[in-house]
Amino acid sequence: MAGSATSAIEVIGRGHPWLSLAPALCVIAVLFGGGLVLGLAGSLGMGRGGVSLDAWIAVLSEGRVWRSLGLSLWIAFASTALACLIGLGAALLLRRRFPGQGLARLLFQINLTIPHAVGALGILWLLSQSGFVSRLSAGAGLIDGPAGFPALTQDRFAIGIIAHYVWKEVPFIGLILLANMQSLGDDPESAARSLGASPFAAMRLVLLPLLMPALIRAGAIVFAFSFGAWEVPVLLGQSAPVALPVLAWQRFTDPDLATRPEAMAIAMLIALVAALLIRVAMVRR
Amino acid sequence: MTRMMTAIGALLIAGTAQAQDGDVLLAMSWDEIVETARGGEVNVFMWGGADTINAYVSDHIGGILADEYDITLNRVPLADTAEAVNIVLGEVEAGAGMDAGAVDMIWINGENFRTMKQGDLVWCGYVDKLPNASLVDFENPAIANDFGVPVEGCEVPWSRVQFAFAHDTARTPEPPRSIPELLDWIEANPGRFTYPAPPDFTGAAFVRHVFTHAAGGADALVGPFDQEKFDAVAADTWEILNGIEPHLWREGVTYPTSITQLQQMFANQEVDLFFTYDPAEIGTAVENGIFPETAMSYGLSDGTLANTNYMAIPVNAANKAAAMVTQNLLLSGEAQLEKAQPEIWGAAAVIEPSRASAEVQEGFATLERHPSVVPVEELGQAALPELTPDWTRAIEDGWIRNVGN
């Protein structure tokens, strides 16, 4: 069994790397690249006669789009930063051996399988002004009614949205870091300790720099998702400004066909901004 | 995602189906059309947010189609009708799929219909072919015009609805019963009212009520769009709506984003008033235990908007014959009566019961309504005509720019 598997890999590996990658690249190029090209064409008004930048000009000169972009950037940056910070802390705690470690790891990872829309509804039931926490507070006599509870969903600072992303992405970051630490092993830190470094210094000067590449990559995935996803802000966001993906969807489902190119332009803008920022993060490392 | 998969699935199915040329069908007799449809299928794209409506279409109508015509009805649920328009538009733009489109029928009205009609995306001229079309009074302007756009044989009416408010008699025994009363009530009860932000369909309809009030009545807004008139009325409307903003839920800093959210908030006692474009929904919500039994719907003395909704067949539909058979069935006296039963859906009929069989007439005469649902006759005494899409669009855009930002 093992022998045949090895030989199969060897056969594939013998060709030029581009040749070996061709099947995977084809899927990406057709499904992903094709979508991007069609979206770009749509944003330029192609398919309905002629090419024009009207949609891009309209979108980029609209205050609402910029406010939405600002909100989406805030959501994505705050969610990514908090998820990375808490995920890193959790991973550092979970890598130690302690009784019940297996159970702790299981509990830590359990929400990875829960879909975002379900998680967002859970946040709504938990944190909204008529949610569970609010009802508990009312029962305890802390507030008079729903309006007395602070606005944590559909709120100006997108607290509900960020809370959902942090809840959902902390295990993701943690899991990647745990796997990364496993492959690094204890050796680098032990070496530093034997040379006289304190445990904290060993972690800060040896382990963290070694974990950085994985953390940045995982963070980039979280950033791209929380910047571009629609279902969470549509459930937990306020009516204005809406997150950029929600704005794109509103334009896409507008009965006026003239707004379709604008929807595509906003979608392209989302992809462009996310790609640029992630590129910058990767290069600066 | 599921929706998209369903749509793609339907697309694949439709691609293999026998293409049907509309002109050939129009030359056939009704019996020939039924024979052409037999053994086929029909892909019905419709808003899927109400279990009662979904069950009526899938089980009741789908059941009859399967038993009597051997037609399979595939109901594709949508969150927004524009999604179906997008599919048809994409197919027609791509040039491929003439008479092989994925969408055979769309539940539609208003702006989406205008979009399809203007874009030549809807199939026209077949309505006279349907035997049950004779039950409909096409002379009635409320049926011959869809949000002011002439129907002209391009869609078949399905139901009538009229906007209504709802309150909980236990909590709010004396609700405001006109727009001026409502505006005073909002000021006297801070934080207890709000409305979904347009482009939500129902929220936009609420804003049109205030707009109509600001115009001094519906008569002032009849006819084609008039920019000068709009500017004058709009200025007053935004002043009214910005004026009540500090007294709304969350001081008007934000608004609910969908009518579903407002329904939840009314159920959770976060607000005291609810409204809907389909009063039957109030009865359904009481039956489901979402609203208390003391919830009650009511109309306004200065009138509420009414409209007709329709079923349209896209110009590139693959199964036009089956779609025609389905539409004819939906128009039958029996199907309209079933749909009007409060426990089924409670939707008002578009046919003239007097033109239907004695049994159907009897059924309509003895129709019971849910105690929480305001009687159609009572609402209908003050019905306002819907504005044309040019008006509704300008009002929506204006609200987003001037009130909801």
CA distances from A242 to A66, A207, B1, B100 (A): 11, 40, 21, 37
Q: With a cut of 0.85, is the ipTM above it?
A: no
* CB-based contact, A148 to chain B, within 8 Å: no
Structural domains of chain B in order of their starting residue, each with its CATH number: 2-157+308-371 (3.40.190.10), 162-306+380-402 (3.40.190.10)
Same domain flag for A33 and A66: no
Same domain flag for A231 and A182: yes
Domain ranges, residue A189:
62-284
Verify whether the Cβ–Cβ distance B93 to A47 is below 8 Å: yes
How many cross-chain Cβ pairs, A to B, lie less than 8 Å apart? 72
pLDDT at residue number A49: 67
Give the pairing type, strands B295-298 and B164-168. Answer: antiparallel
* CB-based contact, A111 to chain B, within 8 Å: no
- Whether A255 is covered by a domain: the verdict is yes
Single-letter residue type at A251:
R
Among A238, A241, A250, the residue with its CB nearest the CB of B199 is A250
- Whether A252 is covered by a domain: the verdict is yes
Measured between beta carbons, the chain B residues lying within 8 angstroms of A155 are 254
- Does the structure show a pLDDT above 50 at B15? no
What does the alpha-carbon distance between residue A256 and residue A284 come to, in Å, rounded to a whole number? Answer: 43
CATH number of domain containing A145: 1.10.3720.10
* CB-based contact, B110 to chain A, within 8 Å: yes
Same domain flag for A104 and A135: yes
* CB-based contact, A89 to chain B, within 8 Å: no
Mean pLDDT of all residues in B213-230: 90
Among A239, A250, A256, the residue with its CB nearest the CB of B255 is A239
- Please answer whether residues B328 and B113 qualify as being in contact, where contact means their C-beta atoms are separated by less than 8 angstroms: no
Same domain flag for A3 and A89: no
- Does the structure show a pLDDT above 80 at B354? yes
Lowest mean pLDDT among A70-74, A256-260, B242-246: A256-260
CA B380 vs. chain centroid, Å, equals 17
* CB-based contact, B83 to chain A, within 8 Å: yes
Measured between beta carbons, the chain B residues lying within 8 angstroms of A64 are 400, 405
For the stretch B135-174, pLDDT in tens is 999 988 889 999 989 999 999 999 999 999 999 999 999 9
Among B112, B191, B197, the residue with its CB nearest the CB of A239 is B197
For the stretch A162-182, pLDDT in tens is 999 999 999 999 999 999 998
What proportions of chain B, in percent to the nearest 5, are helix, strand and coil? Answer: 50, 15, 35
- Whether A53 is covered by a domain: the verdict is no
- Please answer whether residues B399 and B199 qualify as being in contact, where contact means their C-beta atoms are separated by less than 8 angstroms: no
Same domain flag for A68 and A3: no
- Whether A49 is covered by a domain: the verdict is no
Verify whether the Cβ–Cβ distance B389 to A156 is below 8 Å: no
Verify whether the Cβ–Cβ distance B400 to A240 is below 8 Å: yes
CA distances from B360 to A219, A260, B326, B351, B404 (A): 65, 45, 19, 11, 47
Closest Cα to residue B4, out of B116, B87, B81? B87
Distance from CA of B105 to the nearest CA of A (A): 17
What does the alpha-carbon distance between residue A20 and residue B183 come to, in Å, rounded to a whole number? Answer: 69
pLDDT at residue number A18: 83
- Does the structure show a pLDDT above 70 at A7? no
pLDDT at residue number A12: 57
Same domain flag for A39 and A77: no
pLDDT at residue number A285: 59
- Does the structure show a pLDDT above 50 at B38? yes
Among B82, B191, B257, the residue with its CB nearest the CB of A239 is B257
For the stretch A174-228, pLDDT in tens is 999 999 998 888 888 888 888 888 888 888 888 999 999 999 999 999 999 999 9
pLDDT band at B79 (very low <50, low <70, confident <90, very high): confident
Enumerate the H helices of B111-200 as residue ranges.
111-118, 141-144, 179-188
- Please answer whether residues A202 and A193 qualify as being in contact, where contact means their C-beta atoms are separated by less than 8 angstroms: yes
Q: CB neighbours of B90 closer than 8 A, spacing ≥ 6?
A: none
Q: CB neighbours of A85 closer than 8 A, spacing ≥ 6?
A: none
pLDDT at residue number B20: 63
- Does the structure show a pLDDT above 60 at B363? yes
What does the alpha-carbon distance between residue B401 and residue B405 come to, in Å, rounded to a whole number? Answer: 6
Verify whether the Cβ–Cβ distance B270 to A47 is below 8 Å: no
In degrees to the nearest 10, what's the CA dihedral of B124, B129, B130, B131? Answer: 160
Among B83, B249, B264, the residue with its CB nearest the CB of A253 is B83
Contacts 24+ apart (CB under 8 A), B52-61: B52/B284, B52/B344, B52/B345, B53/B345, B56/B338, B56/B339, B56/B344, B56/B345, B60/B335, B60/B338, B60/B344, B61/B326, B61/B329, B61/B330, B61/B335
- Does the structure show a pLDDT above 90 at A45? no
Measured between beta carbons, the chain A residues lying within 8 angstroms of B405 are 64, 240-241
Same domain flag for A145 and A91: yes
pLDDT at residue number A115: 94
pLDDT at residue number A13: 55
- Please answer whether residues B102 and B129 qualify as being in contact, where contact means their C-beta atoms are separated by less than 8 angstroms: no
pTM for this predicted structure: 0.83
Q: Which helix (H) or strand (E) holds A249?
A: helix A244-252
* CB-based contact, B354 to chain A, within 8 Å: no
Residue of A239, A251, A257 to mutate for B, most B C-beta atoms under 10 A: A239
pLDDT at residue number B182: 97
Residues 186-225 of B with CB under 8 A from A: 191, 196-197, 199
Q: CB neighbours of A22 closer than 8 A, spacing ≥ 6?
A: none
pLDDT band at B6 (very low <50, low <70, confident <90, very high): low
Same domain flag for A36 and A89: no
- Does the structure show a pLDDT above 60 at B237? yes
The DSSP-derived string for A174-210 is HHHHHHHHHHH-SHHHHHHHHTT--HHHHIIIIIHHH
Among A237, A252, A257, the residue with its CB nearest the CB of B115 is A257
- Whether A51 is covered by a domain: the verdict is no
Same domain flag for A85 and A156: yes
Distance from CA of A108 to the nearest CA of B (A): 27
The DSSP-derived string for A34-93 is HHHHHHHHHHTTTTSSS--SHHHHHHHT-HHHHHHHHHHHHHHHHHHHHHHHHHHHHHHH
For the stretch B303-314, pLDDT in tens is 999 999 999 999
Verify whether the Cβ–Cβ distance A257 to B119 is below 8 Å: yes
Average pLDDT, chain B: 91
Same domain flag for A150 and A220: yes
Same domain flag for A36 and A157: no
More confident residue, A19 or B60: B60
* CB-based contact, A197 to chain B, within 8 Å: no
How many domains would you assign to chain A?
2
Measured between beta carbons, the chain A residues lying within 8 angstroms of B83 are 253
For the stretch A103-113, pLDDT in tens is 888 888 888 89
- Whether A21 is covered by a domain: the verdict is yes
Verify whether the Cβ–Cβ distance B270 to A64 is below 8 Å: no
Distance from CA of B343 to the nearest CA of A (A): 29
Measured between beta carbons, the chain B residues lying within 8 angstroms of A242 are 257
pLDDT band at A3 (very low <50, low <70, confident <90, very high): very low
Mean pLDDT of all residues in B296-306: 94
- Whether A54 is covered by a domain: the verdict is no
Verify whether the Cβ–Cβ distance A240 to B83 is below 8 Å: no
What does the alpha-carbon distance between residue B123 and residue B113 come to, in Å, rounded to a whole number? Answer: 11
* CB-based contact, B268 to chain A, within 8 Å: yes
Measured between beta carbons, the chain A residues lying within 8 angstroms of B110 are 255
pLDDT at residue number A247: 96
- Whether A254 is covered by a domain: the verdict is yes
Same domain flag for A38 and A7: yes
- Does the structure show a pLDDT above 60 at A266? yes
* Chain B residue closest in CA terms to A45: B93
What percent of chain A is modeled with pLDDT above 70?
Answer: 93
